[in-house]
């Protein structure tokens, strides 16, 4: 008999977010679940790690019999600490989310949800981040739960290459309009930033980051296209950032002494 | 006559670090320099942005006639604010660093230095991050300064593809042993983490992140190889994280309803 799968669950919205509770519910039939999640919201933390201060872990009992810990650091810290101090080794899979809000296209780079999953993938743990295109606290997670279970199960059943990582975004649609899961590539999109400038009671300026999403990629194989057309997008992700095409081009053009 | 180049300088070690002062010195003969850097050390902040709190900018006069600002946020925040609130548009180039310590191989993902440069590249600004393999406050920056000037000048003189980005790491070597600049790819390496477990005066545990670098890539075309063999490594970088090979493979293997 195959031993039970060990499933590490984490997120970036913090351990009390509805998204992680829904993710635990989605994957608990698939193996033994251990949760290690930030003790506070960590959205937009990207691949930050904590270098200048120490970290804390606290065990909590809020998920009905599931072993769960809060970590005082970033999502990436959670994964590192989980492996070294809680699990004492690699789990069979790491699932991150379900994020409240999109992490498609360029958003993957800013996303704590995806950075946690990427950290696990760097460690050789098959990993996936789930994000739901709905920010509401009381959003209906029925479809995201179903997607999380289906993708996690598929990953556990497949012999994947080492370091396999997926970025899954789920549209906010009524069941009747939802079309299923579609493999996609990362759309070439970005944020048009504008800072909201205000003045404090002393008259000094301060700035809030705001911005408008701008998709500049009109292919029908992108994650943005999938989401706009009723599908969940599933993007396989890797972390060799070398631009081989530019390397090739400059190999001939640039001569250094 | 071509207009003067506008050069945005930033870093992650903070505005008072010797590395940024050396970078300013390196690039000031190449155009008009504007500095926007974090007001405190931001190492390991990856691509973090500040979402939950507002940001501050303060003008400072510490670089002998160069316009300079501190920002209360992350390196990525610095670049966003520089563009929207200080420069009111795109500079001709963004240079980040000179980082105190290496950012080769997988370290690019954790690096605030490289994330600042990447943020500028996403915006369509040719960008480069420089890192020096020496952590000492009083390190000799002669070779790093020379490299930073040469690479920045080369970038300004070349018609590069949009979003061009480079990760430059400079070895800590005496001039006689230094061999020059070498184009490279990102080595497949990672950190073997171990947390140093301690107890506070109340007997509660806390953890310091420590780790050992582990290169698993023995190609002679990697950044790690270049650095170990007396060269500065120059890796062209891109930010489409799609794993096209895995996408292709799963397109046939995974069927979803």
Contacts of B250 in chain A (CB under 8 A): 183, 236
Give yes or no for A238 touching B (CB within 8 A): yes
Contacts of A54 in chain B (CB under 8 A): 198, 206-208
From A60's Cα to the closest Cα of chain B, the distance in A is 15
Residues 6+ apart with CB under 8 A from B181: A256, B147, B150, B151, B168, B231, B232, B234
Residue B54, CB half-sphere, CA atoms under 13 Å: how many?
13
Specify the pairing of strand B189-199 against strand B180-183: unpaired
Place of tokens 């989605």: A26
Sign of CA dihedral B120, B109, A129, A121: positive
- Kindly state which CATH superfamily the domain B6-187+219-253 is placed in: Survival protein SurE-like phosphatase/nucleotidase (3.40.1210.10)
**Best A40, A54, A224 residue to mutate vs chain B (most B CBs within 10 Å):** A54
Please list the residues that pair with A193 across neighbouring strands. Answer: A211
- Kindly state which CATH superfamily the domain A6-186+218-253 is placed in: Survival protein SurE-like phosphatase/nucleotidase (3.40.1210.10)
Structural tokens at position A107 = 């958003």
Q: What is the predicted pLDDT for the residue at A190?
A: 87
Give pLDDT tens digits along chain A (257 positions).
Answer: 568 999 999 999 999 999 999 999 999 999 999 999 999 999 999 999 999 899 999 999 999 999 999 999 999 999 999 999 999 889 999 999 999 999 999 999 999 999 999 999 999 999 999 999 999 999 999 999 999 999 999 999 999 998 999 999 999 999 999 999 999 999 999 888 789 999 999 999 999 999 889 999 999 999 999 999 999 999 999 999 999 999 999 998 998 75
Domain locations in chain A as residue ranges = 6-186+218-253
Helices A142-157 and A18-27: angle between axes, nearest 10 degrees? 50
Whether residue B257 is predicted with pLDDT greater than 70 in this model: the reply is no
| Range 88-117 of A in CB contact (< 8 A) with B | 106, 108-110, 115
CA B42/CA B40 separation, integer angstroms? 6
Structural tokens at position B23 = 């970078």
Give yes or no for B158 touching A (CB within 8 A): yes
Question: Over the stretch B66-119, which tens digit does the pLDDT of each residue have?
Answer: 999 999 999 999 999 999 999 988 999 999 999 999 999 999 999 999 999 999
**In sequence order, what DSSP letters do the residues of A31-46 get, joined into one string?**
SEEEEEEESS--TT-T
Q: What is the predicted pLDDT for the residue at A163?
A: 95
Question: Over the stretch B132-184, which tens digit does the pLDDT of each residue have?
Answer: 999 999 999 999 999 999 999 999 999 999 899 999 999 999 999 999 999 99
Give yes or no for B62 touching A (CB within 8 A): no
Whether residue B1 is predicted with pLDDT greater than 70 in this model: the reply is no
């Amino acid at each position: 008999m195959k031993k039970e799968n060990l499933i590490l669950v984490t997120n970036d919205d913090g351990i009390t977010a509805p998204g992680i509770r829904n993710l635990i519910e989605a994957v608990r039939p698939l193996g033994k679940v251990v949760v290690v999640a930030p003790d506070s919201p960590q959205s937009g933390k990207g691949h930050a790690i904590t270098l200048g201060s120490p970290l804390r872990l606290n065990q909590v009992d809020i998920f009905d019999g599931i072993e769960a810990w809060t970590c005082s650091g970033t999502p990436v810290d959670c994964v590192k600490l989980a492996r070294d101090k809680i699990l004492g080794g690699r789990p069979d899979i790491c699932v991150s989310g379900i994020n409240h809000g999109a992490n498609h296209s360029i958003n993957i780079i800013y996303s704590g949800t995806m950075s946690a999953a990427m950290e696990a993938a760097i460690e050789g743990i098959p990993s996936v981040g789930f994000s739901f295109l709905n920010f509401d606290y009381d959003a209906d997670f029925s479809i995201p739960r179903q997607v999380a279970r289906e993708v996690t199960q598929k990953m556990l059943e497949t012999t994947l290459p080492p370091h396999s990582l997926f970025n899954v975004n789920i549209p906010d649609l009524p069941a009747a309009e939802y079309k299923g899961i579609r493999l996609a590539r990362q759309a070439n999109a970005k944020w048009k930033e504008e800072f909201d400038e205000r003045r404090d009671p002393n008259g000094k300026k301060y700035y809030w980051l705001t911005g408008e999403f701008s998709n500049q990629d009109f292919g029908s194989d992108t994650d943005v296209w999938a989401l706009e057309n009723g599908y969940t997008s599933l993007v396989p992700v890797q972390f060799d950032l070398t631009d081989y095409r530019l390397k090739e081009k400059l190999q001939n053009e640039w001569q250094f002494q």
